[in-house]
Amino acid sequence: MRILRRVGLVLLGLFVLLNIVLAFHAARFTYFYDNPDKMPSRKPESYSTGEKLEAAFFGMKLKKSVVNDAPKMPYETVRLTNELGQRLEGWYVRADNPKGTVILCHGHASNKSKVLCENDFFHQLGYNTLLFDFRAHGNSQGNICTIGYRETNDLKAAYDFVSRGNEKNIILWGVSMGAATILKAIPEHDLKPSQVILECPFASLYDAVQGRLRSLHIPAHPASELLLLWGGMERSMSGYSYRPSDYAKKLTMPVLLNWGAKDPRVLRPETDAIFANLGTSRKQLVIYENSGHQPYCTNENTKWQAAISDFLQASPRPAPQQPTAQALP
């Protein structure tokens, strides 16, 4: 009995220690420290073995991403305000005789300067563009990020800015966290974009957590469940109910979904679930065979530009009774 008691105490101690470690992980994953020295951000995949071990035990200390570039064409710096009163910085780029306006949503630990490749092509196609930094990213205020859960309010601020200019053709483009934010924001705020372009969105926050753990080579279970539990409590959000694949059912406008076949973070079943759930028959899935979780605009530029151009130029069609969309290789 004494031995069993000791074993039980050891197991209890290990469980408590595991929860402490994962509580720190959850806090650090959703907190961006100020970055006055403008240190560039790094992806976990680029960490050395020692850095990965340190991150595994103590979590990654994320710093605000640095805005290190700007559009080559004339642009206007705009200030948006979210529901917390935080100031968000954006760039508004006007086109001659614009066909509409594209709002670009960057990913986690990124910023608006990281989507300039996409911005340039949309501008080349004749669209106004609005690039903005989500809260806690780039030059926007705040330190806490909720992986798209509350960033929907940031997107709403950007959407309202464009709408106030009487724009009738608003297109939403987003990558990773930005794409997940779009999926959640459309039904949450009753947004009415004409078309939507999504690049490698995660199917659920639970899937996103597992993808992050895979990048650090940490076993997914039970760490994923505990990280989601602690993250939800620390940021006062329902992590388990945050499911972009479910929100996809509310999208009735044309949707282009892009995914990289070598993506270690967002897996094919997640992408298939989102695509299958999209509430429109006017949808396309384009797979980039040589890309991972990275910008397709830079990694497979010719294929990406063709997919974007074809999608935007396609005329809207009446939705048939049964979905007829095909996955494009």
Q: Are residues 172 and 128 in the same domain?
A: yes
Of the residues 191, 218, 237, the one at which a domain ends = 237
Q: Are residues 168 and 269 in the same domain?
A: yes
Specify burial of residue 72 (Cβ count, 10 A radius: 0-12, 13-18, 19+).
exposed
Report yes or no: 130 and 101 within 8 Å, Cβ to Cβ.
yes
Of the residues 184, 214, 237, the one at which a domain ends = 237
Q: Could you count the other beta carbons within 10 Å of the beta carbon of residue 182?
A: 29
Predicted local confidence at residue 6, as pLDDT? 80
Predicted local confidence at residue 329, as pLDDT? 39
Q: Are residues 188 and 59 in the same domain?
A: no
Q: Are residues 92 and 198 in the same domain?
A: yes
Q: Are residues 91 and 194 in the same domain?
A: yes
Q: Are residues 188 and 212 in the same domain?
A: no
Say if 329 falls within a structural domain: no
Range of the domain at 22: 1-63+206-237
Say if 255 falls within a structural domain: yes
Say if 310 falls within a structural domain: yes
Report yes or no: 105 and 181 within 8 Å, Cβ to Cβ.
yes
CATH number at residue 306: 3.40.50.1820
Say if 327 falls within a structural domain: no
Of the residues 219, 237, 255, the one at which a domain ends = 237
Take residue 2 and report the two structure tokens written for it: 């004494």
What DSSP string runs through 151-204?
Answer: THHHHHHHHHHHHTTT---EEEEEETHHHHHHHHHHHHHT---SEEEEES--S-
Q: Provide the phi-psi class of 137: left if phi over 0, else alpha when psi is between -120 and 50, else beta.
A: beta
Q: How far apart are CA 158 and CA 135, in angstroms?
A: 12
What backbone phi and psi angles, to 5 degrees, belong to 175?
A: -125, 135
Q: Are residues 135 and 270 in the same domain?
A: yes
Predicted structure pTM score:
0.89
User: Which residue do the tokens 């630990």 mark?
Assistant: 109
Q: How far apart are CA 45 and CA 162, in angstroms?
A: 36
Say if 323 falls within a structural domain: no
Q: Are residues 192 and 306 in the same domain?
A: yes
Q: Are residues 109 and 5 in the same domain?
A: no
Q: How far apart are CA 57 and CA 43, in angstroms?
A: 17
Domains contained in the chain, number? 2
Say if 215 falls within a structural domain: yes
Say if 320 falls within a structural domain: no
Report yes or no: 295 and 287 within 8 Å, Cβ to Cβ.
no
Predicted local confidence at residue 15, as pLDDT? 75
List per-residue pLDDT tens for the chain, 329 residues long: 788 788 777 777 877 777 888 888 888 889 999 988 887 776 666 777 777 777 777 777 889 999 999 999 999 999 999 999 999 999 999 999 999 999 999 999 999 999 999 999 999 999 999 999 999 999 999 999 999 999 999 999 999 999 999 999 999 999 999 999 999 999 999 999 999 999 999 999 999 999 988 877 778 888 899 999 999 999 999 999 999 999 999 999 999 999 999 999 999 999 999 999 999 999 999 999 999 999 999 999 999 999 999 999 984 543 433 433 444 43
The crossing angle, in degrees rounded to 10, of helices 205-215 and 223-234 is 120
Q: Are residues 9 and 122 in the same domain?
A: no
Q: Are residues 253 and 302 in the same domain?
A: yes
Q: How far apart are CA 298 and CA 115, in angstroms?
A: 10
Say if 324 falls within a structural domain: no
Predicted local confidence at residue 316, as pLDDT? 52
Predicted local confidence at residue 60, as pLDDT? 77
Q: Are residues 137 and 266 in the same domain?
A: yes
